[in-house]
Amino acid sequence: MVETKKEYTWENKPAGQKYVGVRNSWNPDAVGVVTGSMRYVHDMSMPNMLYGRMKTSTVAHARIKSIDTSAAKAMPGVAAVLTADDIPDVRMFGDEPVVARGKVMYYMEPIALVAAETPEIAEAALEKIKVEYEELPVGLDIEAMASANPPVVLHTPKLLKSRFYDERPNLINATIGIHGDVEKGFAEADAIVEGKWDVKRFTHMTAGPNCAITWIDPNDGRLNCMEETQSIFQVHYPVAAAVANLPMSKVRFRCPRKIAGAYGNRSYVHAASRALWLTLKTGRPVKLMFTRDETTQITSRPRWRFYFKVGCKKDGTLTAGKFTVYNANGGYGRFGAGIVRNAIFQFSGNWRFPNFRYDSFAAYTNETPMQNLHTFAHQEVCFAVNQAMDMLAEKIGMDKYKFKRMNLLVNDEVNILNEIVRSGAAEALDLAAQHIGWDKPKAPGTGPWKRGRAIDVGNVYINPLVEKPLAYVRLNANPGCDIFGSVHDLGTQINATVAFIAAETLKIPPENCVVTDLDTDHTTFTGSAYANQQAFVAGTCVMKACQDALRKLFEKAAPELGANPEDLDTKDGMIFVKGKPENALPWAKFMLGTTPFIWGMGEAWFPLDAENINTMKTEGKWRRLNLLYMFAATAVEVLVNEETGDVKIEKFVNVSDTRPINVWACDQQMEMAQNYLGAGLYTEMIQDQSNGAYLNTTHLENKWPSALDVPGPSNAVVDHAPSPGMMQPYGIPEPWPDVWGVYGGGKGISEATIVNCQSVIANAIADAIGVRFYEAPIEPRKILQALGKA
Amino acid sequence: MSLRFITRFAHYDAKTVQEATSLLSKYGDKGKPIAGGTALMDILKKKYLPTPEAIVNLKTIPGLDQVMEEGGALKIGALTKLTDLAESSIVKSKFPVIAETVKMISTPQLRNMGTVGGNLCQQVRCWYYNKPDFYCYRKGGPVCYQPGGDNRYGAIMEQKVCNAVIPSDLAVTFTALGATLKVEGPDGSRDVPIKDFYVTLGNILKPNEIVTWITIPEAPSKARFRKFKVRKSWDFAVASAAVATTSKGTVAALGGVAPVVVSGTPDEVSAALDKATPLSMNKYKIQIAKTMLKEAMA
Ligand SMILES: Cc1cc2nc3c(=O)[nH]c(=O)nc-3n(C[C@H](O)[C@H](O)[C@H](O)COP(=O)(O)OP(=O)(O)OC[C@H]3O[C@@H](n4cnc5c(N)ncnc54)[C@H](O)[C@@H]3O)c2cc1C
Ligand code: SF4
């Protein structure tokens, strides 16, 4: 574990804070995860359970002429074989069917579902299903597919509507953002940089492939689904009910305590949506486990192309920027419409642009449908933006750090979207510069090893589509509490973080604070695990619920202690008059008999500008689209070998503008961000050029860096430059009460930590060998090619 | 629980080499030996090759997991675990290049299970070959997918009909050291110099033959192995080179560049690299192979 360089200063931290903001490695799930006793969906089974499998497409684009399932159905031990003909035509997120309907849009798209008594029979049955295809041209060209005359049209009729250019047949969304007058801005510029950047596909490689168990509860006849999810209420539960064609009251969705890796993969109902139909048709429990190949071929980050033109004055002041985005979205929409809209937040959060134009296009292509993956496009956008900023600084002969620093928005400035930004970006950048030793000349390289360094800055935003989240807490006499809220632990240790918040508020040990499992029967809605919101949204609700419960407890205890409730305090399950701990009464005294528990409710309010988020311009009384932006500055020092194209990372610095609640977990996130340096170095999904299929679907070939491939603790520094979190909604009394969030830990952390990991590698390599790379990742192959050695 | 399900097969624990080879004979080309299983299990799960009808376990044959010195020569039992080979005191003191090589192979966990024989006999890692959907030339099909597909890790020389590269690192070092393999079948045994063992589409073993011993004739006066991996912690070679000097002269060998190990004098190997025939995406491998060779000779 890396020691952070400085102790956190908690200007508004109440004296004696014991669990929040304190480095404490306690985590209720640690032993289970490390010893393997933690049970994920893969480990579970039910009596009388069938095994599900999917027959998947062997081609990227085709009309399905026929599917012959008779031989598979006739096999002993096969309970059901389903095709689109057996399932109502419900589309997930507007266009994606559970199994292909008439056409396949990408390689390995599910075509038929099988349930059998054993996994072996299920697999053998797949081979007996005969599919006849009439192959269609495969559309993979990122720009051509988004045009008015694409080489091939995927969906007729078109099922998703684009905000602009809806007449383009493959377009699922386009956004336009205009601020000022870019042409005028470029005319005023002394220097202009332009480029075209491509970022390859990249996938989650979750430790556990997608898996679900579905069954019908004989006691109440409801359909039950168990799948690991990062969004039980906003995706899995409603989508499962819709797919099943059942009212939500006839469906129950659950998720185990811990999720076997997510990074975006679990934002979609991949497995339960299919398993549930096998259950509905057979009446039996069904377990559907994806293979590793299926998991990788069905979910991945999209391919991107960016055009960026940016200009500045001689003194470094930015005058204009023009950014155009193409997203090769894959065969169905999923979250593609939102991702091309939200990519603009990299500019609105970070940079002071007097004139700016943003155009983005997401179009269908015959490849894996896009899946959100850590940062929802921002790591990729940063690959272009941070490089362009360095190029512009070089062009005017200015120090890159100074150039970025002077063009960053600062606290309370109004941005291109008319939001008032709260930002610690500049402070984070300063700290990163200090830690990497930017003011000192870099050491020379040796032999073929050339040394380079870079310092980048980026943001991700919290835009939870959560307006009024609510948590409950149930105090018990032990003293302890059970916490009810949609807390999804993807490995982020949020279960510990939420327990720390409860423990701090109730002044009892965190071990006594239980975060209950996700189950739509009792879990309340405190948001989802996307956009870094959990500590912030669920944490706020839990803190308030604990405060509410304590208030009720004190009301009960006040007469016996002969004091007013507001004069009471508690510690370790004892209640006493403030300053007189000697006359204390235990919680237990008030939680007996007719009132075994005391309940608290905590509701938060995050006013949302749902209207304007689509137009991307705040209007009228609204002054924010996002709840907040969080920033990170990342610096690296690398050695690049000019004979082999090898890149060694010598030093890694990562600074966030968050104030950590769970310091241990935050620092682990900041450190583990190093793994994402792979996205700059060599990690990618390699696609066959003819059918978009991924060739490297295993952990071996996919090449995520391991802990041994990155600098590791001794050469990494992580730090924080805390800044206030929430942006002020206009017309709501100032200051917005939750501006610092829960216990001052107003911001999330997860995605910001990795946002610069791809660009910082490109910039450091450019610094070392003087060559720019416009395509990520930058493997030795590309470096040698650029150096004229291949 | 495994996510891939293995088709049924018969399994035998062989007690002697004789028993193993006669069991394999009984099943013709539908039997397969298994050693550590680290490579074979992958095939059984992914099913890119037909599942054998019978699998014959060699680990139950006593005595084949030893490393010993015999009159200056090093004898390695084919069932020796990679970790044990690297930790053998004879290897460490007289053949340190072998230990260096083993440390570059896969991961500690795999080295604890994988054997020397399995490492030498493993299948290629071409990503078309490793998928059931691609019926390529090496599987008996009509085409090789690499020239028209993604060939960044493909062969740059001696391709003939297949552009996959030999994956074994030990094969490279053993070639530089002039190793001989003892091949045993139901009708007896033969000694095969390692440079004759590999052919474009695999090796010269008949389905009923196994490798039992590897002999390195003498300790080199100087030897080095260099391997270039894209991901440093664990990866197959983009290119590797071993160079060893013995009483018979200096031999250089290259791995990761061709379906077989390319070997000869350092000058010959260097000249062969100059005449390399890279595919559309992998010219860079020439530069890397040259660098590995240079470093191995240093
Ligand atoms: C993820 C991963 C990474 C790897 N990385 C590397 C690497 O970097 N470098 C490298 O060199 N290797 C690498 N390997 C290969 C690894 O070293 C081999 O899996 C291992 O050495 C094989 O040994 P085994 O005993 O498990 O073979 P098995 O899986 O038991 O057998 C492999 C093959 O050889 C045959 N076979 C086994 N023993 C004999 C014998 N005595 N005679 C005849 N045929 C036999 C089997 O029939 C089978 O076809 C990697 C493997 C994996 C899975
Ligand atoms: S390189 Fe060899 S193994 Fe790979 S596709 Fe071609 S023939 Fe098959």
Q: Residues A764-776: pLDDT tens digits?
A: 999 999 999 999 9
Position A730 scores a pLDDT of 60
Answer whether B122 contacts ligand 1 (Cβ < 6 A): yes
CA distances A562 to A557, A718, A719, A745, Å, are 9, 50, 48, 36
> pLDDT digit string (tens) for A366-395?
999 999 999 999 999 999 999 999 999 999
Residue A622's pLDDT band (cuts 50, 70, 90): low
Query: What ranges in A74-134 are assigned the alpha helix state H?
Result: 119-128
On the question of pLDDT at A685 being above 60, the answer is yes
Q: Which of B150, B232, B284 sits opposite A790 (nearest CB)?
A: B284
Give the whole-number percent of chain B exceeding pLDDT 90: 96
User: What mean pLDDT is predicted for residues A244-271?
Assistant: 96
- Which residue from B minimizes the CA distance to A781? B284
Computed on alpha carbons and rounded to an integer, the radius of gyration of chain B in Å comes to 19
Of A249, A326, A202, A124, nearest to A677 by C-alpha is: A202
- DSSP letter string over B46-84? H-SSPPPSEEEE-TTSTTTT-EEEETTEEEEETT-BHHH
Distance CA A462, CA A725 (A): 10
Least confident of A262-276, A592-606, B25-39, B238-252: A592-606
Position A586 scores a pLDDT of 97
Are B149 and A689 within 8 A, CB to CB? yes
Counting ligands in written order, the one closest to the CA of B166 is 1
Letter for the amino acid at B22? S
- Is B22 within 8 Å of B66 (Cβ atoms)? no
Buried/exposed code over A392-410 (b: 16+ C-beta within 10 A; e: otherwise): bbbeeebebbebbbebbbe
How far, in whole angstroms, is CA A503 from its chain's centroid?
A: 27
Interface of A with B (CB under 8 A): 42-43, 58, 119-120, 122-123, 209, 289-292, 643-646, 678, 682, 686-690, 693, 695-696, 700-701, 703, 705-709, 779-781, 784-785, 789-790
Distance CA B232, CA A646 (A): 10
Tokens coding B57 = 């376990």
- Pick the residue with more confidence: A424 or B279? B279
Letter for the amino acid at A44? M
- DSSP letter string over A294-314? HHHHH-BBPEEEEEEEEEE-T
Tokens coding A375 = 């940062």
Measured at the CA of A467, the angle between CA A539 and CA A340, to 5 degrees, comes to: 100
Identify from B48, B51, B231, B273 which residue to disrupt to test chain A contact, counting A C-beta atoms within 10 A and taking the largest count: B231
Answer whether B164 contacts ligand 2 (Cβ < 6 A): yes
Q: Which of A290, A645, A682 sits opposite B284 (nearest CB)?
A: A645
On the question of pLDDT at A88 being above 80, the answer is yes
Strands (E) in A505-611, as ranges, are 513-515, 518-519, 568-571, 574-577, 580-586, 598-603
On the question of pLDDT at A7 being above 50, the answer is no
Position A10 scores a pLDDT of 35
Tokens coding A566 = 């507001």
Q: How far is the centre of ligand 2, averaged over its atoms, from the C-alpha of A224 (Å)?
A: 46
Q: Which of B3, B230, B288 sits opposite A289 (nearest CB)?
A: B3
- Is B240 within 8 Å of B230 (Cβ atoms)? no
Q: How many CB atoms lie within 10 A of CB A343?
A: 23
- Is B146 within 8 Å of B130 (Cβ atoms)? no
Residues ≥6 apart with Cβ < 8 Å to A84: A97, A98, A99, A100, A101, A102
Are A644 and B228 within 8 A, CB to CB? yes
What region, left, alpha or beta, does residue A532 occupy, with left being phi > 0 and alpha being psi -120 to 50 degrees? Answer: left
Tokens coding B78 = 């084919």
Are B232 and A289 within 8 A, CB to CB? no
- Taking the Cβ of residue B150 and every Cβ of chain A, the question of whether any pair is shorter than 8 Å is answered with yes
From chain B, pick out residues whose CB is under 8 angstroms from the CB of A696: 127
**What domains sit in chain B, N to C, each tagged with a CATH number?**
69-121+160-297 (3.30.465.10)
Q: What is the mean pLDDT of chain B?
A: 96
User: What mean pLDDT is predicted for residues B88-111?
Assistant: 98
Position A218 scores a pLDDT of 96
Distance CA B64, CA B59 (A): 8
- Sheet with A223-227, side-by-side order of all strands: A78-82, A110-116, A50-56, A286-289, A211-216, A223-227, A251-255, A518-519
Position A614 scores a pLDDT of 66
Are B231 and A696 within 8 A, CB to CB? no
Letter for the amino acid at A171? L
Identify from A644, A681, A696 which residue to disrupt to test chain B contact, counting B C-beta atoms within 10 A and taking the largest count: A644
CA distances A548 to A560, A592, A599, B51, Å, are 20, 19, 8, 63
CA distances A368 to A104, A328, A487, B60, Å, are 11, 10, 29, 46
- Taking the Cβ of residue B119 and every Cβ of chain A, the question of whether any pair is shorter than 8 Å is answered with no
On the question of pLDDT at B270 being above 80, the answer is yes
Residue nearest to atom 33 of ligand 1 (CA): B122
- Which residue from A minimizes the CA distance to B232? A709
From chain B, pick out residues whose CB is under 8 angstroms from the CB of A119: 5
Q: Which of B123, B126, B150, B152 to mutate to test the pocket of ligand 2 (most atoms within 8 A of CB)?
A: B126
Tokens coding A222 = 């409801």
On the question of pLDDT at B1 being above 60, the answer is no
Least confident of A64-68, A72-76, A739-743, B9-13: A739-743
- Which residue from B minimizes the CA distance to A56? B133
Q: How far is the centre of ligand 2, averaged over its atoms, from the C-alpha of A695 (Å)?
A: 13
- SS3 label, residue A430: helix
Position A500 scores a pLDDT of 95
Q: Which of B112, B115, B206 to mutate to test the pocket of ligand 1 (most atoms within 8 A of CB)?
A: B115
CA distances B58 to A292, B23, B38, B202, B205, Å, are 30, 11, 14, 20, 16
Position B199 scores a pLDDT of 97
How far, in whole angstroms, is CA A666 from its chain's centroid?
A: 15
Residue A22's pLDDT band (cuts 50, 70, 90): confident
From chain A, pick out residues whose CB is under 8 angstroms from the CB of B4: 291
Counting ligands in written order, the one closest to the CA of A706 is 1
- Taking the Cβ of residue B38 and every Cβ of chain A, the question of whether any pair is shorter than 8 Å is answered with no
Are B287 and A790 within 8 A, CB to CB? yes
Chains A, B: CB contacts within 8 A come to: 88
Distance CA A667, CA A354 (A): 36
Answer whether B77 contacts ligand 1 (Cβ < 6 A): no
How far, in whole angstroms, is CA B86 from its chain's centroid?
A: 16
- Pick the residue with more confidence: A171 or A463? A171
Are A781 and B282 within 8 A, CB to CB? yes
Residue A3's pLDDT band (cuts 50, 70, 90): very low
Distance CA A282, CA A285 (A): 8
Letter for the amino acid at A357? R
Residue B185 host element (H or E):
strand B180-185
Least confident of A70-84, A297-311, A562-576, A727-741: A727-741
Residue A731's pLDDT band (cuts 50, 70, 90): low
Tokens coding A409 = 């928005």
Helix then strand then coil, in percent of chain A rounded to 5, is: 30, 25, 45
Distance CA A116, CA A76 (A): 9
User: What mean pLDDT is predicted for residues A517-542?
Assistant: 93
> pLDDT digit string (tens) for A153-182?
999 999 999 999 999 999 999 999 899 999
Q: Which of B5, B150, B288 sits opposite A119 (nearest CB)?
A: B5
What number does the ligand 2 atom closest to the CA of B129 have? 3
From chain A, pick out residues whose CB is under 8 angstroms from the CB of B285: 790
How far, in whole angstroms, is CA A764 from its chain's centroid?
A: 26
- Which residue from A minimizes the CA distance to B289? A644
Answer whether B181 contacts ligand 2 (Cβ < 6 A): no
**What domains sit in chain A, N to C, each tagged with a CATH number?**
41-136+210-289 (3.90.1170.50), 375-463+619-786 (3.30.365.10), 466-603 (3.30.365.10)
Position A466 scores a pLDDT of 85
- Is A349 within 8 Å of A238 (Cβ atoms)? no
From chain B, pick out residues whose CB is under 8 angstroms from the CB of A643: 287, 291
Alpha-carbon gap: A260 to the closest alpha carbon of chain B (Å): 14
- ipTM of the shown complex: 0.96
- Which residue from B minimizes the CA distance to A294? B3
User: What mean pLDDT is predicted for residues A516-532?
Assistant: 95
pTM: 0.95
- Is A213 within 8 Å of A226 (Cβ atoms)? yes
Distance CA A154, CA A329 (A): 12
- Is A459 within 8 Å of A630 (Cβ atoms)? yes
- SS3 label, residue B287: helix
